[in-house]
Every structure is written in structure tokens, then in C-alpha cells.
Amino acid sequence: MNHHQSNIFLPWVLFSLLIALCFIVGMVLFLEEPPDSQGYQHPEKSTLQQGGTGERHVQTLWWGAVFGVLQLLFAIICLIFGIYRQGTLPRNRMWVFLIGGALHLIIFLVMIFTYRQYINDPSDLWLSLPVPTAVMLFFLWPFPLYFVLVYTLKFEKWIFQEEDANLFKKLVASTQKLPEEND
């Protein structure tokens, strides 16, 4: 891939992912709404809605899984875009984000698959929680800390280097030297 092609590759990937996300949302909007998908009246409290069983999600579960995977891919590629330097992606740095992204996707898919199993058999518990809830609480939610740590520990070396700071200072100085317009 030459220099010019690599300059436009990531933005096109991001744009394609956004189009795919819009497509998924559009498709879901045309699905027939399952009964009780918005809940149903609580027998004792008139202001409450009850959710019912997870069966109401079967129709949209896989659409949601695809949407979630596309969102995670979009976020990971945005993070990779942050290490893009002078038309190249440093491979040793990119692998840190690709491995983290793959692990994040795996955890998300484990949550989806365990939720699908939970719909069929809600009796399985892990640490007193339904298994998909435990996966979400203990693995999916804290996992973005991986990316926070990478950015925190490697920011000055990988993301905003000294040459970037010097260029930024030069740009700020050039805007301060603009001639003032006479009124």
C-alpha cells in the first residue's frame, strides 16, 4: 500500500462502519415489535411496567450483537487512528490495540451467547448473578480500562509526541501574529 492509499484507508473504513451501523438501525426499525417488548402492566403498581421473560429479545438479539460488534470495531479503529503517524501505522503499536480490541469483542460475544442461553434456561447463576449479567459487570464494563491504561502510559511516546507539541506551538504562534484588521 503506497503512502497516498494509506492516508485514505482508515477514514474509509470508519465511514463504511458508520454506514453499516445506520443500515442495522434501519433494518431493526422495520421489524415487527414482539408482544410485551415494551413491558406490561404490573399487577400491583399501576405506574410500573414489568419486563417479562427474555423471549421478547430473541428477534432482535442478533441484530443487537451485530450492532455491538460494529460499534466496538468503530471505537477500536478510532483508537488505532490515534497512532497513525506520517502516513503509516506502526505495527508494534497497532498490535496492542488489535489484541485489546479482539479481547473486548470476545467478551462482548460471550455476554451475547450467555444471554441467549439464559433466555432458554434462566436458572444458571455465577456469583449469585445471571451469567450474562456477571460477564457484563465483571468483564465487559471494566475492560475499557485496558485502553485507558495504554493511552495513559504511552500517550507522550505514541500519541502526542514532542514533534506534535512543537508543531502545535508553531501553529499557535502563527495565529497570534496575524495582522489586526483596521475598523
pLDDT digits (tens, 9 = 90+) for 135-173: 999 999 999 999 999 988 988 888 787 888 888 888 888
Q: What's the whole-number mean pLDDT along residues 173-178?
A: 75
CA distance 135 to 115: 10
The pairing of beta strand 125-126 with beta strand 129-130: antiparallel
At 36, give phi and psi (nearest 5°).
60, 20
Mean pLDDT, all residues of the chain:
83
Percent above pLDDT 70 for the chain: 84
Which residue carries 429479545 as its cell? 57
Q: Which amino acid is at 5?
A: Q
Q: How confident is the model over 50-92, as pLDDT tens digits? A: 776 667 677 788 999 999 999 999 999 888 887 776 666 677 7
Quote the cell numbers at residue 97: 490495540
Output 136 or 6, whichever has higher pLDDT: 136
Average pLDDT over residues 8-32: 89
Mapped onto helix, strand or coil, the DSSP state of residue 171 is helix
